[in-house]
Structures are given as C-alpha cells and as structure tokens.
Structure 1
Amino acid sequence: MERNDSVLSKDTFLKGALILTVAGIVVKIIGSVNRILLSRLLGGEGVGLYQMAYPIYLLALSISSAGIPVAISIIVAEKLARGDYRGAGRVFRISLGVLAVTGLLFTFVLYYGAGWLIEHHFVRDARAYYAIAALAPAIFFVTVLSSYRGYFQGLQMMTPTAVSQIFEQLFRVITMIAFAYILLPQGLEFAAAGASFGAGPGAVAGLMVLLYFYWRHKPGFTHKMKMQPPLPQESGIRIISRIVKLALPVSLANIMLPVVSNIDLLIVPARLEVAGYSVEQATELFGYLTGMAVPLVNLATILTASLAASLVPAVSEAYTLGNKQLIYQRIATAMRISNLITIPSFVGMWLLATPISLLLYGTPNAGTSIAILAVGIVLLGMHQVTTGVLQGLGHTAIPVINMGISAIGKIIMSWVLTAVPALGIMGAAWATVADFGVAALLNIFFVYRYVGFSLNLNDTCKALAASAVMGVAVLLSYDAIMSHLLHNSLATLGSIVVGGTVFGVVLLLIGGIEVRDIEQLPRIGGKLAAVLTKLRLLRR
C-alpha cells in the first residue's frame, strides 16, 4: 500500500537506503579529514585526552537515547499504516517530551560526574576532565535530535535524516578544529576540550535541519490529521511503555558493541603473547586487525546498514497491514541487493587484501587480517538486514539475544585460537568472522520462522558467478598494470575499477539485475532503466 500524497513524500525503502548510504559516505569522508587535521593539531597526547572523554559520552548517549529512533519509527509507521495521523503525531510529541527530559538529565549527570570519574580514577589523566565536561551539552541536543530522526524514518522519509547527518558532522568538525586551534595556546587539555565541545554545535546544526523539514511538512500533516475519522488513541503511559519496550533491546545492542571491543582488547593481545609474540608484536598485530581491517569491513557494509534502517518502518507498515506478501517482497529485495554489494566486496577485498593494505596504510602487514575479515562482509550484511527485518516485526529483543550468543562464541574462539602459534592474529580474525556468521544464521532462522522467508538460491548464484568472473578480471588487471607500471596504488585502483565494471556487465548479461532495481535509483533510475531495456540488457 503506497501513499503518494505530498504530505509524506514517502521514499521506497530501497531509495531511502541509497539516500542514507550517500549520507553515510559523505559523513565518513568528513570524519576522515577531521581525524587527520585533529591529529596534526593536537598530536598523539592531545588526541589521547579527547579519546578518554569520547567513549564516556557515547555510553551516556547510548543509555539516554539509543534505540529510541528505531522504536519511534516502528510505532509511527504502524499508526500511518492504519491512517492514524493523529496517533503518529501524538507518538512523536510524547517521545520528544520524554527524550528532552532524559537528555537534560544525562547532560547534568555527565557534567557533574566528570569530576567524580577523575577523582575515582576511572579516567587516569586528570587533564581529561575538561574534555568530558565539554561534551555534556551535546547529549541534550543529540537526544532531542534522535526523536525527530525516528519520526521522519517512521514516515519513511530518509532525506531529512541524511541531510541532518551531513550538517551535524560538518559543523561538528568545523567547530572542533576551530575551538581546538583557538584554545591550544591555553594548554593541551583546553584544546582537547575545545575539540570535544564541537559535538554540541554539530548537534544543534543537525537539529535545525530537522526542524526545517518538520515545519515544512507540518501544514500538510496537520490537514491529514483534521481530515481523518475519529480513531481510539493510546494513552501516554501506553505509548511510553511501548517505546521503552522496543528501544531497550536496541540500546543494549549498542552498548554491547563497545563492550565486546573492550573484551577483545583484554583477550587478543594477551593470548598473542601466549602464542609466543612479544608485547610490542602483539600490540602491532592487534592494531592491524582492529584499526585497519575492521574499519574496511564496516565501510563495505554502509549500504546494508542503511538498508536495515530503511527496512524497519517499511516492514512495520506491511506487518501492521497484515500484508505478508509485501513483507516477503521487501525482505527478498533487501537481501538480493545486500548480496549484490557484499559478495563482490568480499571477493575483491579477499583477492586484493595486501595491495589494499599497502595502498591505504602504507604497510602490507594488515593484508592477512583484511583477507580473513573479508569473508565476514557477506555475513555482516545478512546480519544487518535481518536485524532490520526483526525490528520492523517488533521483535527487537531477538537480534540482541543472538548477538549475545555470537559474542560468547567469539570470546571462546578468540581465547583458544589466538593462542595457537600457527594462527595468532588469524585466530582472532576468524573468531570475528564466526561472530558475524552465528548472529546472521540465528537471525535468518527467526526471519524464516516468522515470515517464511529463505534466501533465493538463483539470485545468490548469479551474484556468485558474476563475482567469480570479476575476481579473474581483478587478478589479471592487477598483474598487467603492475608489470608495466610497477606502482601498487595505480594497479590496485585500476583493478578495482575494472572489477566493478566487469561485475556490473556480467550481472546484466545473466539477468542478475531487475528493472525495478534500476528504477528505484534516485533521479536517474527511470531513464537508465529505459536505456538498458532498449539495449536489451534488462528485461521487464
């Protein structure tokens, strides 16, 4: 059931995912520039002070607001599916009030708790006090911001969220660098505090963008509220209860991620020493895995993370309408798109692991970790998409439980495999892949249980076949360019371009891309689909 009225201007979930993906890439580029500039300005010591404060801020933010946007988007999508515009507006207003209170509460907790953290030596360097206190105001604005984002995602309008993410990151980086530069003469601790303070103005900028979109769409939405027939409304207590019930598991999942990372920090280096490595070697290998290989896997799954976010309200809407066929169709489309992105990414990163390591990090030594974690790209993509499906169905606790089970398995495997001299850091990498795999398989089981969905082997085989041909082209092109130019960077970039082109062409020839996939691309989709159909590369 699609609503084409101007008040909603609803995106299809695939178009919404692409919008969020583009925003995610832009945000990561801005963030990369920020890390470079901040490192040069503050040096290792100053960045260290900043990094002592930032995880505490993220933890406070996770407790105060994480999971709320998902909960709001589920309930708002459910209300709109029933034509209850008053109910959707009421959910937003109540959630906004609750989040404003919790945001203000945690702002004061972090500001006044900064001294306590220093006094009790939870933060070892007393100079980090200023950086922690400077982050406190951002919690209120980011928490309020999350309510607006959840509301727009429930409307299946991803553009406001995407634009606000870009503006938030841009203003955050500008103010971080500016304040750090201005305060540097006062001392390194004040410069680090200036960098921390940038999170506040960034959140205000993102909030201003969302307020603009809100007021722009409010008249049409208000008209819809007035025109709808009388419908029974949930009480405020009931709405708050539902938000908490849906949001709490998502918040636990967000908290679990840094917890597992910290467990890795405790286990992997220590077990590498048991395997026979020195402290310095263990630290170096741990850096290759967590600081170089893991970010590449996360980069390769930006689209699948966006698909998951876009799927939540789309599945919730279809589930509310009782349209199982639409749920199945949306899951199938998301999984097919996920495989079309993650399978070739896995093959390319696996084959070019060492050249990519040399290109990005100036060392070939991260190649082994990158090659192993490349396998996890497909599994992580499946996990993200199925998590979005289960959340959209209202089963937000299931992905968290599955993550907990997979994390226990990861800890056991890391403890055992990393200490094996023949494996070392490869054991830790395989444990991470197993973590992704177990979580994905458990999610897939529950999606099948609730919806009856299973992977389409025909579509998956087409993606595998195109990726195999692409892999041959990647190896041949890399060897050819290297033999003539002897330049790794040009050979790596050139072979990636060749591989991507070959993958796309082969996929078109074997019918792995459908007309509707192309048509849903923003702006150019319709024209591009028409051209490819005319050339008989696409079939209707």
Structure 2
Amino acid sequence: MANSPEKISAQETAHTEDKPVQSSKSSLLKGSAWMTAGSIFSRVLGAIYIIPWTTWMGAHSSSANAIYSKGYNIYSIFLVISAAGIPGAISKQVAHYNSLNEYALGQRLFKQGMKIMALFGFVAALVMFFGAPILSMDFGTFKVDQRTVPLFRSLSFALLLIPMMSITRGFFQGYNEMAPSALSQFFEQLGRVAYMLLLTYLIMRVGSGNYVSAVTQSTFAAFIGAITGIGILFWYYLKRKPNLDELAANSANEINISTGQIIREIIHQAIPFIILDSGTTFFQVIDQYTFPPMMRDFVNASQNTIDAMFAIFNFNANKLVMITVSLATALSLTVVPLLSGAHARKDIKGIQTQINDAVELFMFVMVPASFGMAALAHPLYVLFYNSGDLQSWAIPLGTVVLQFYSYLAIFLGLFMVLASVLQGLYMNRKAMLYLGFGVITKIILQYPMIYFFRVFGPLVATLAGMTVACGFMFWALYRIYGFNLNRLLRRIFGIVIFATMMMIVVWLVVKGLYLFINPYSRFMTVIPLAFGVLVGIVIYGYLTLKFHLADRILGSRVAGIRRRLNIK
C-alpha cells in the first residue's frame, strides 16, 4: 500500500458516491462524541482526585507530585512498548478487513494479537520491576532516587493487564464502536481513583504519614483500575458475540493469510504506533532526565525546590491541560479506522473530506477549551494545588505556567490528530520521521531554553519541537491529498477570533469577581470558575451559532439548535 509521490486529485475518483462520505462524517461525529465523553469524564475524574490527594499530602505535596510524575512518565513509555502499538494497529487492520467483508479474518487478527499482548505485557512488567533502580537514576549526580524505585515496581503489575485491555478496545474501534472503549476507560479511572484516595487517606491521615508509601499505593491503583476496565470490556464482548459470530460466518473468505503472516502484519503495523503513541511522552521523559541537572547549572536550589519546579510544569499544569488534550485523543482514535476504510476503497474524495472534518472538529473544540483554560488558570491552579503548604512563589508561577501550557496544548493535540491521520493513510514512515524532527528540535533547544527561560524553558523547547513535527505532517497531507486548505484556514480563523473574544470576557469576569472574594481561597475560587465556564460556553456557543460556523463544522442538525434558541 505504497503512497503515491504525486498529489492525488479528487477527479481521479469522481465516480465515488457522496453517501459514503456523509456516512463517514456521521461516524466520525458519533464516534468522536463517545470517545470525547469517555476521555473527558475519565480525565476530569483523574484531575479532581488531586484536590483531596494534595490536601492529605500536606507539606509533601510538591515532592509527591514530582515523584508521581516521574513514575508515570516512564510507565507510559513501558505501557506503549508492552502494547507494542497493537491496539491502534488492530483497530486499523480490523477496519480494513471489515471494509472488504473479511470479518472472520479480522477476528483471527484480534485473537492472535491477544496472545502477543499477553506475552509483551509479561516481559515489560518483568523489565520494569527489576530495572527500577536504573530507571530511578539521576543522571546529573548518577545516584539512585530511592523514592521512585517502589513506584516503578508497583506500576509494573498494571502492565500484566492493560495491554490486553487496550487491544480489546482497539478491536471494537475497528468496528467503529466507541462506546466500549469510552465506558471501560471511565470505569477504569473510577476504580483507580477510588483505590488511590482510600489508601492515601489511610496512610497519610490514619497511618504512618509516609508520603512515599502513599504515592506507591497511588501508582499501584493502576492495576486495580485495569481489573475494572477489563470487566466492562468482557461484559460487552459477551453481549456482542452472537452478532460477531454471524458476521464472521457470512464473510467473503477470499483472502487467505497464515497465522505467521497475521503476526508479522500485526508487528509491522504496530511499530509506528509504538513510536507515535509515545510522541508526547518522549518530550516529558526528556524533561524528566534533563531538567533537574540543567537547572542546577543555573540556580542554586535544594532538591525540594527543584522538585517543586519540575512538578509545576510536568505534573500540575500537565494534569489539567491533558483534560483538553484528551479531546484530540478522542478524535485521533476515531479517525484511524475511518481513514483506513476509505483508503482500502480508494475513496480519495472521502479521505480529503475526512482530513478536513477531523482537523476542523479538533480545532472547533480544542481552541476554545485551551483559551478558556488560560483565562481561568489562576482559579484552576488554586483549586487543585493550593493545599496551604506551598511556598509563596508557587501559585503565581504555577498560574503563568498553566497559561502557557494551555496554548501549548493545541499543538500537542494537533500532533495526535495529524499523526493518527497519517497512520490511517499508511504513511507511517513519514509520521515517524516528522516526530523524529520534532524530538531532535526539542533536544537541541532544551539547554539554551532552560538557560533563558528557566522553568518555562522545557515548554518553549516542546512548543518548538511540536511545531516542527506538525508543520511537516500538515504539509505532507496537503501535498499528497490536496484537501481544501482555504476552507480549513477560514474556519480556523473564525474559531480563533471567537475563542479570543470569549477568553477576554472570561478573564474580565474572573478579575471582577476577585474584587469581592479571596483569590487564594480554595473554597471561594469555585465561584469565578463556575461563572467563567458558564460565560465562556454561552459566548462561544452564541458566536459560532450566530455566524453559522457550528453548522459548517458540526453539520446541518446544528441549525435546529439555532432555531430553538431563536438565533438567526
């Protein structure tokens, strides 16, 4: 399935009917709605727990956040490696074979993938458990951070289950069924958060008060969450099994592939997913191992102060921003099987439309979410991280970092969407190459940016790296498929204008309310947050409906909403 080096024109497929295109757009919107809901709910739940968690950590909250972030950054890499990108590859290949009425082959692919996932997960768990001392090394001092060793070992248990859970999600996504993934994701998070809060409270308020033990149990909660998520998927699979068996029985069965070929195909498709799914995590891991020693070159600070600075951008701001980035993740998971199916049908017009739809839908949601978070950065940071034990500089610095990170989130999310589009169109090598360009840019700029901008340095370097990666990806898609760039730029311009107007009004509302309430009170800060979110939704919603931007991006059904609201 090689890519044509020439731009492919829509005229080459003039015979393609419009109905599949509209069906694909409907599937994209429906699938995105499910994945967005599941991702957002799980992300919000994964952020809300921070309020009681940091409160119970007390004076240890900054150090606890720092080592928690270090553990999860490496765990994320191991998780992608142990899954070997197979969930995304399975989703892509199952959709491909389903579009050819080879349902039985797609199901064989899934069963073989499950065996591979079980093996990879087991090996990854062993490596992470026994390699914990090496992973805990501070490469500035070449000493082992004994606080993080038990974290890595506790996280290794989740690697035994999550790869198999992930591939099952990918299987259902290959059928354009996003509900199982969304529901299992939410309940996985629910089980994880319930366990970590219970154990943290018992350790910090009832027991020894050892914050390292509390963080270790908080990371072990990933294993508890995995059990919950797998249970939901198993129930859904049993419910759908009669229908799956019927589809397999009526397959065309015209493609004969051996088990060995299936495994090779899975691994071949998985390698790009390993690299690209780890894209944003690569940037965080670079920060984890370079920021502390580089900062010590420029400032004379204690370990606790370095921990606090690292936690501000790599955990605190990142945790909140990933709520908005999860919108992009939801879109990227949805677009791969749709594009793969269109590619198999050689539906070039459909591919062009889906590229436009995916990027426009992403920007329509992501830009106002990011701008709104920037306007609400102060009350958000106070609500989640003002445990009363922070140093005086922590909240003002954290607020500005969160504002900067909010804008950076647009590029992080855009990278996820564009990388997924390239994967869905079998342009894996290009996607990996462009990610490599971005990582190299990040590494080159890391030291000078930290020198000039201190704690903002890693974020500036990440922004530069993501801009390079996204720029190359965007240009490759336009050069080969020639989607409607003018339409895309016009709509993005409208989105940015409306989001900017919304952000200014929300910022003024927050500043006005701060004249009457204490801006550093966790309890009172809920007021500007609630008013700010409400005002932001109303303003952005009204503007996009009034000028029919929502109609063009979300479809004709939005016109009914506008009429009911009496907006002409």
- TM class by shorter-chain length? 0.7 to 0.9
Give the letter for the 1:156 counterpart. N
Q: Which residue of 1 aligns with 2:342?
A: 318
Deviations 1:369-411 (A, max 9, x none): 2333333233223222111101111223333322221122122
Which residue in 2 is equivalent to 1:158?
178
Which residue of structure 2 aligns with residue 215 of structure 1? Answer: 238
Match for residue 386 of structure 1 among 418, 422, 443: 418
Partners of 2:70 and 2:438 in 1: CA distance: 28
Native 8 Å contact 2:97 2:106 kept in 1 = yes
Q: Which has the higher contact order (CA 8 A, sep 6+)?
A: 2
Q: Give the superposition deviation at 1:73.
A: 0.5
Q: Are the equivalent residues in 1 in contact too, given 2:360–2:553 (CA < 8 A)?
A: no
CA drift at 1:141 = 1.8
3-state SS of paired residue (2:550): coil
Would the aligned equivalents of 2:65 and 2:316 in 1 still touch at CA under 8 Å?
Answer: no
Aligned residue number for residue 264 of structure 2: 241
Is 1:20 paired with 2:35?
Answer: yes
1:278 matched residue in structure 2: 300
Candidates 540, 546, 561, aligned match of 1:509? 546
Q: Does 1:395 align with 2:456?
A: no
Residue 61 of structure 1, aligned match among 79, 99, 108: 79
Q: 2:468 matched to 1:438?
A: yes
Deviations along 1:37-67, one digit per CA (max 9) or x if unpaired, are 5666677488888777655654443322141
> 1:398 is aligned with what amino acid?
K
Write out aligned runs for 1:326-405 (5 A).
326-354=350-378, 356-358=380-382, 360-362=384-386, 363-405=395-437
1:58-91 CA distance string (max 9 Å, x none): 4443322141100000100000111111111111
Residue in 1 that maps onto 2:535:
498
220-229 or 194-203, which deviates more: 194-203
For the 8 Å contact 2:70–2:288, the answer to whether it is kept is no
In structure 2, C-alpha distance between the alignment counterparts of 1:296 and 1:224, rounded to whole Å = 42
Q: Which residue of 2 aligns with 1:477?
A: 509
Q: Is the 8 A contact 2:95 2:338 kept in 1?
A: yes
Distance 1:60 1:486 in 2: 43
The range that moved more, 455-464 or 103-112, is 103-112
- Amino acid of the residue matched to residue 377 of structure 1? A
Matches within 5 A, 1:249-260: 249-255=272-278, 257-260=280-283
Counterpart of 1:445 in structure 2: which amino acid?
W
Moved more, 333-342 or 278-287: 278-287
Q: Distance in 2 between matches of 1:180 and 1:288?
A: 21
Partner AA of 1:336 in structure 2: E
Aligned to 1:228: 251
Amino acid corresponding to residue 343 of structure 1 in structure 2: V
Alpha-carbon separation, structure 2, partners of 1:530 and 1:94: 47
**Residues 364 and 226 of structure 1: CA distance in aligned 2, closer, same or farther (over 3 Å):** same
The one-letter code matched in structure 2 to 1:26 is F
Q: Which residue of 1 aligns with 2:497?
A: 465
Could you give the per-residue CA deviations for residues 264-283 of structure 1, whole angstroms, max 9, x where no partner exists? 244445555555x4325665
Contact map agreement 1:11 1:156 (CA 8 A) in 2: no
Aligned residues: 522
Amino acid at match of 2:184: S
Q: Is the 8 A contact 1:467 1:503 kept in 2?
A: yes
Q: Is the 8 A contact 1:74 1:394 kept in 2?
A: no
Instruction: Give the superposition deviation at 1:299.
Output: 2.2
Distance in 2, matches of 1:108 and 1:434, equals 36
Distance verdict in 2 for CA 1:114–1:392, change over 3 Å? same
- The answer (yes or no) to whether the contact 2:35–2:330 under 8 Å persists in 1 is yes
For residue 156 of structure 1, report the CA deviation from its aligned partner: 1.0
1:169/1:371 Cα in 2 relative to 1: closer, same or farther (>3 Å)?
closer
The Cα of 1:321 is off from its aligned counterpart by 1.0
RMSD: 3.7
Matches within 5 A, 1:276-315: 277-280=299-302, 284-315=308-339
Which residue does the alignment assign to 2:45?
A: 30
Matched-pair contact (CA < 8 Å) for 1:402–1:443: yes
Q: Separation in 1 of the partners of 2:308 and 2:67?
A: 22
Report the alpha carbon displacement of residue 223 of structure 1 after superposing the two structures with TM. Answer: 1.4
TM-aligned CA deviation for residue 454 of structure 1 = 5.1
2:376–2:532 CA contact under 8 A, matched in 1? no
Give, in whole Å, the separation in 2 of the partners of 1:235 and 1:173. 43
Amino acid in structure 1 at the alignment position of 2:89: A
CA displacement 1:124-144 (0-9 Å, x = unmatched): 467877665554443222121
1:14 to partner: Cα distance: 2.1
Q: 1:271 to 1:239 in 2, by over 3 A?
A: same
SS at match of 2:255: coil
What's 1:530 paired with? 560
Kindly, what percent of the aligned residue pairs are identical? 26
Residue 407 (structure 2) pairs with residue 407 (structure 1): no
**Deviations 1:214-244 (Å, cap 9, x if unpaired)?**
1211211211222233412222222211211
* C-alpha contact 1:372 1:430 (8 A) present in aligned 2: no
Partner Cα separation in structure 1 for residue 226 and residue 499 of structure 2: 41
Larger deviation, residues 462-471 vs 438-447? 462-471
Q: How much does 1:247 deviate?
A: 1.2
Q: TM-score, normalised by structure 2?
A: 0.80
Change (3 A) 1:476 1:31: closer
Measure, in 1, the Cα distance between the counterparts of 2:501 and 2:218. 47
Deviation at 1:457, TM superposition (A): 2.1
Structure 1: give runs of 5+ residues left out of the alignment: 4-9, 520-525
